[in-house]
Structure 1
Amino acid sequence: MTLENHRVKIENGRADYAYNIVANTIQKNSPEKNSEYRSYIKKLPSIIQVNGLGQALAFCFSKGGEYKRIYDQIYGWLKINNKEYFPNENEEFVKAVINMDSKEYRVITMEVLALLNWMRRFVDGMVKK
């Protein structure tokens, strides 16, 4: 498999995962919760860029509600596709992230931003203002 094919496969998998979790969330939530969910997904990339992934995840973890749902959805993707960074399943996601070395932290940050980009696209299409 060429590097380009591998990249496309990862991007397609990320898009598929994002579509499925957003569609599932939208289907189960009330319109008010969907509006919150949409708003939080749109805000989270800038929160990560300004404060860093660790602080953004700690914020989501502490806020609960739709933020915690997004936190869990992000972790779900990373457990599937970046499990080498999360060997201890009993460790809290945010704790694993804040204990990473800087190279791993950058890799995971970029992966989370790429996933959120897909989630934002789908939530924009599925939840109307």
Structure 2
Amino acid sequence: MENPRLNIEQQRAKFAFDHRTSKLSSNYDAMVKKLPAYVQTNGFVYAMAFLAEKDKGVFETIWKWHCNSSENTMKLPALNGISKGNFLPVLINLEDEKIRLITMETLALFTWLRRFVDDEKATEQS
């Protein structure tokens, strides 16, 4: 019998590995490392508003995971197939419980992303 928790962790890891860099962001690795603290300090919606203006690469990664990724089996139906431009307005109007779910899912994804951007930097320096 397959463990569903293990399966979602594998899906997050695969997505994170595939999205460990971004051409839209000049400091993608630094923002990936800082984002969990921003989310915990300011809240998910405020952090996303910040990213929409300051770091389009990280914003796009989060949008892809929550709206367009077939790997994300925890995807909320309300976010399925939403365009990048409509992502923030839809987030603003979600119920608190759904925001909490998205926040926890994003933080879990960024646990993996942080591992891969760290590994990428270590490989480049050696």
Tell me the TM-score normalized by structure 1.
Answer: 0.81
Structure with the higher fraction of residues in helix conformation: 1
| 1:38 to 1:88, Cα distance in 2 relative to 1, 3 A | closer
Aligned match of 1:114: 108
What's the secondary structure of 1:96's corresponding residue? helix
The amino acid of 1:8's aligned partner reads: L
Provide the C-alpha distance between the structure 2 equivalents of 1:110 and 1:83, rounded to a whole number of angstroms: 13
Partner of 1:45: 36
- Which of the numbers 82, 85, 88 marks the counterpart of 1:89? 82
Give 1:59's aligned amino acid.
Answer: F
How does 1:2-41 map onto structure 2 within 5 Å? Answer: 5-22=3-20, 25=21, 33=26, 36-41=27-32
Q: CA RMSD in A?
A: 2.2
C-alpha deviation, 1:88, in angstroms: 6.1
Indicate the residue corresponding to 2:45 in structure 1. Answer: 54
The aligned counterpart of 2:56 is 68
Q: How many residues align?
A: 117
Q: 2:120 pairs with 112, 122, 126, which one? A: 126
How does the TM-score come out when normalised to structure 2?
0.82
* Match for residue 99 of structure 2 among 97, 105, 113: 105
CA deviation profile, 1:7-36 (whole Å, cap 9, x unmatched): 1111100000001111xx26x68xx93xx2
Secondary structure of the 1:89 match is coil
Deviations 1:25-72 (A, max 9, x none): 26x68xx93xx2111111110000000000000000011xxx211111
Note the C-alpha offset of 1:87: 4.4
Give SS of 1:100's match: coil
User: What's the % identity of the aligned pairs?
Assistant: 37
1:85 and 1:104 in contact (8 A); partners too:
no
